[in-house]
Structure 1
């Protein structure tokens, strides 16, 4: 008998998760780790939807069976290949006919199947609850080139809880942020990834998050989480300019030159025409360090403006000469005082 599970039980149950929605729905957003096994193609789903609107539910259901019938054998074979232990979890959009039909088919073929009550919509509601869960957030601030992302990774290696928003968004959070990175997920999938990551963290323990604006590239940070970040204590790491330039040259040293030129042109209005041209000329000459020095002037001014907007004193930690692990250890030492001070406000 097919089990219908609520979202909490579904996420912790055994077996791979099969998403039987159309490829387009899956691409827009899906449960992290779920495997796409669409019952309908994008065109077929559109056909069924049009039929439902024009001829009603009964006609749409009949059309659906006509489209699915020839696929059932292949679905069974794929299901068995995906789940060699014969245990599967299946969901569709609302937890209705699509997941129910595939579940019946696979159970008839001898698999143990569980479906998600409320479907993918239930997962999305669950994610919003996860974002809203109060957490002991510590925001890691610092000017461009201070190595914040590397420090976050070092914190994670030292056993600290970390939420790497830029890693989940495939973007470094600047005009140059998409260079050498995979394509960004949709905002919906970005939220799904955040929800999945946060759900595995202990709300009673601190979680380190790099300071970000409301957008990381094209991805929007969930407002429930962003509000907590805005209210959380921030610790700013500072490095000498020369060390920051070293870090940036290391990050972008192998980046495609034209990509760097295009990214520089995108901030022409803010950088100014003369500085932009100077930076582009340096790129043509292969003088990446000089380019970074020119561009940092703009990003530093933007950073200072944001600090003034917050209108609060943010403690600084000098990490000059420290590698990411040593910097992370210093941050861990400061965290208890930072949290206790913020809690007393």
Structure 2
């Protein structure tokens, strides 16, 4: 039975998803929560593709059956462990998922094939970034605790999109320190779509002010355009408080890795400031290091704020304590 992408997305709350693409395709990007049971693994997929180009479709099909045959019992056994009714997809909803459904069907596993496959899911994801959203942008200098405030807003029942959590990066040159590796751009986009899909777009959505790139990941153009037109609430936090917060955040980072991150912004920071910061880093004076780095980051923020001056609706001061209470204040300001 074939399902439209909309029916597929509804049914997945009740049924497990099996992605029958190769492990390489799955690693590049997949539907969150989908389990990977490749009907053709990386090597086999290349072999079938080569035969298709050199010998034609019929020979490629025969090659595929010959390669899958010895693993068929393992494929069926692995599927049976997942459940007696499943959702299935390949890349385009074609031969791989169709054959998979036939194989597991002989073992009395009921399957529902996604029409259009993973490609249909990706199209749905790409459409989602253009959906009109009532974004409210949280802005503030580096170290203002914007991500902490964003999560506190969620605790208050507000809708949020946490781009830094999805991207596994905090945005600055130092944003990847002490965090897991970033996902692929494709996987980030899929995870972002899942967050958007859960939102009530008739209500306000809070999002942190970001540049178009969060680490190595570029934000989708549709979302980026909306972020650049939405109202901004500026968070004002004293520099001494920000330095203290950043020391707590990065103080445990590997010194060599921190230095490598500093080297990336040497030109922007200026040679004199870089040398001074490096010296303080070698002296384990992280507060002094952060204070020097903020000369660059605060200037960059101020320049950016000038460009969005007309969209700043209000500025709210915060002492850096009790994010939940401050979130409640922001909600009142937004009203």
* TM bracket, shorter-chain basis: over 0.9
How far is the alpha carbon of 1:240 from its aligned partner?
Answer: 0.4
How far is the alpha carbon of 1:180 from its aligned partner?
Answer: 0.5
Matched, 1:45 2:55: no
Q: How many residues align?
A: 332
Partner of 1:328: 327
Q: Is the contact made by 2:141 and 2:298 (CA closer than 8 Å) also made in structure 1?
A: yes
Q: Is the contact made by 2:160 and 2:206 (CA closer than 8 Å) also made in structure 1?
A: yes
Partner of 1:34: 34
Partner of 1:288: 286
Q: Secondary structure at the match of 1:207?
A: strand
Partner of 1:218: 216
Map of 1:153-164 to 2, 5 A cutoff?
153-164=151-162
1:129-168 Cα deviation digits (max 9, x unpaired): 2111111110111110000001111111111101000000
What is the distance in 2 between the residues matched to 1:108 and 1:56? 28
1:160-199 Cα deviation digits (max 9, x unpaired): 1010000000000010010011111111111111001110
- Structure 1 segments, 4+ long, off by >2 Å, are 308-313, 320-323
How far is the alpha carbon of 1:296 from its aligned partner?
Answer: 0.6
Map of 1:185-196 to 2, 5 A cutoff?
185-196=183-194
What is the distance in 2 between the residues matched to 1:11 and 1:104? 22
How far is the alpha carbon of 1:311 from its aligned partner?
Answer: 4.8
How far is the alpha carbon of 1:80 from its aligned partner?
Answer: 1.3
Q: Secondary structure at the match of 2:310?
A: coil
Q: Which runs of 5+ in 2 are unaligned?
A: none
Out of 142, 145, 155, the residue aligned to residue 144 of structure 1 is 142
Q: TM-score, normalised by structure 1?
A: 0.94
Partner of 1:339: none
Q: Secondary structure at the match of 1:212?
A: coil
Partner of 1:4: 2
Q: Secondary structure at the match of 2:203?
A: coil
How far is the alpha carbon of 1:279 from its aligned partner?
Answer: 0.9
Q: TM-score, normalised by structure 2?
A: 0.97
Matched, 1:64 2:64: yes
Partner of 2:198: 200
What is the CA RMSD across the aligned residues, in angstroms? Answer: 1.1
How far is the alpha carbon of 1:308 from its aligned partner?
Answer: 2.2
What is the distance in 1 between the residues matched to 2:18 and 2:49? 22
What is the distance in 1 between the residues matched to 2:253 and 2:109? 49
Q: Secondary structure at the match of 1:270?
A: helix
